[in-house]
Amino acid sequence: MSLTIIKQKTKCKDFSMAMTRAEINAKSDKKRGVRLQSYKLHEDIIKLLAELSEKTGKSKTAIVTEGILAMEKNYK
């Protein structure tokens, strides 16, 4: 298994720091303000989520986000 190495420029021209794919992803996630969150769901909910994603063309993340925001409006 090979690691994707990206060279990052620094103030010193002769020095470059290699970043692994995991480090690049972590830096990107932090910059965008996102993080991984997981839940155990019943099979029927997982299937429904996949169907909604297929029908709407939206990502599963977008569908879950919209659902949570809709619930928040109901409880204000």
The domain in which residue 61 lies consists of 43-74
How confident is the model over 6-55, as pLDDT tens digits?
555 545 555 567 999 999 999 999 999 999 999 999 999 999 999 999 99
Q: Do residue 69 and residue 50 come from a single domain?
A: yes
Query: Residue for token digits 């599963």?
Result: 60
Same domain for 52 and 29, yes or no, is: no
Region 53-58 average pLDDT? 98
Higher pLDDT, 5 or 27: 27
Q: List strand residue ranges (DSSP E) for the chain, in order.
A: 6-9, 16-19
> Are 28 and 2 part of one and the same domain?
yes
Q: 51 and 27: one domain?
A: no
Same domain, 50 and 69: yes
Say yes or no: 30 and 48 in one domain. no
Same domain for 30 and 2?
yes
Quick check: 3 pLDDT over 90? no
> Number of structural domains, the chain?
2
State the Cα–Cα distance between residues 76 and 65, nearest whole angstrom. Answer: 17
